[in-house]
Amino acid sequence: MKTLSLIVVAALLLIPNALYAATELSKAPPEAKAYVISPVDGETVQNPVTIRFGLKGMGVAPAGVVMENTGHHHLLLDVKALPSLDSPILKDGNHMHFGGGQTETMLTLLPGTHTLQILLGDHRHIPHDPPVVSERITITVK
């Protein structure tokens, strides 16, 4: 019983540290930059569309891998405003996760105008501080 009490007390002492670690944002070098390599802003493309992600000043690591100055890409498709920068990035048809460390994807998009933007997430899918985000570009799919 004494051992169990010691374990419970130790666990209770660790909870504040665990909560702090869970909410602390991963740091990014101020010069880090995400960008869309291709297509380029204003380009007219045909399906399937190959989208290549770029990253400068940091490295790419899969989700779940805790390594300083790394992250993985999230593609924001037709998203007008950035998601919350202090919680995990949504995962849906407009917020695509590339947690395997992928640096490109092929998508079939509806004909018309679309916006693309890259947001880097840390091992927990949370944006860095400062956020590493690309310019939003516009493409047209024929």
Render pLDDT for 76-120 as a digit per residue (tens, 0 to 9): 999 999 999 999 999 999 999 999 999 999 999 999 999 999 999
Q: What is the pLDDT of residue 1?
A: 55
The whole domain housing 94 covers 2-141
Mean pLDDT of 23-48: 96
Give the distance, in angstroms, between the CA of residue 49 and the centroid of all CA atoms in the same chain. 20
Looking up residue 16, the CATH number of its domain turns out to be 2.60.40.10
Number of domains in the chain: 1
pTM equals: 0.84
